[in-house]
Amino acid sequence: MTSDECAKCQMEVTKYKFVKVPDLLAWADNKINVMFCVKESTDIPRAITSLLEYNASHRAYLEVHTNDYLELEKNQVPHWDEVYYVVEMYSHTDLMNILAASETAKKRAILLEFSHWDEWVDVVDDVALAKQNGFRTFAATKDNPITATVDNHLRLYHAGFDVAYTYNLTNAVEARMKVNTLHRISPP
C-alpha cells in the first residue's frame, strides 16, 4: 500500500483519516514515538525501508503478526534487523514461537501484543512468561477502545500487562495514575 492509498483510509470506529507516513514521521520527530500496524505481509519490506529512509528506526515501530515477523529473518528480508517491532500474537503457540526465536529476533521485538487476550486459556501465566524472558507486554481493552472505562484499563494492568492500548486517553491516563500510585511511581 502506498502513502497515497493509506491517506484515503479511515481508522476503524472513528472518522479519522490517516496521514501520509513521511508527513507523520516529520511531525512526530522529537515529540513522540509512532507505531505502524502493517496488516499485509507484502507491505513489511517497504515499511522497513520507509523507517530507514526517514531516519525513524529508533522512534517508530512496526506492528506485525507473529508468523510474518519470524519469516523476516528466515527469508533474510533486507534491513529487517535494523528496525523494532511490536509482535501481534493470538495464542500460547505464538508466544512459544517468539521465545524460540533467535537472539537477534528477540532483541528487535520490543513489545508483545496479546491480541484477543480475554480468549487465552492462561493469559496471566503467558504474560508472566513473556516478562520473565525480558519482553514488555501489550493488550487492547476487550471493550470498545473509544469508550473504554477506567476499569477496562485497570483490568489490563491487573492481568500484568505493561501497556494498555486505547483511544480513550482521559480514562487511560486516570487508570495509569492509579497504577503508578499503587506501585509508588512518581509522578503518578
**pLDDT (tens digit per residue) in 71-111:** 999 999 999 999 999 999 999 999 999 999 999 999 999 99
- pTM for the whole structure: 0.85
Contact 33, 59 (CB under 8 A): yes
**pLDDT (tens digit per residue) in 122-170:** 999 999 999 999 999 999 877 776 778 888 888 888 888 988 777 777 8
Average pLDDT over residues 40-46: 95
Please name the amino acid found at residue 149.
T
In sign, the C-alpha dihedral spanning 106, 109, 112, 113 is negative
The secondary element (H helix, E strand) that includes residue 153 is: helix 150-158
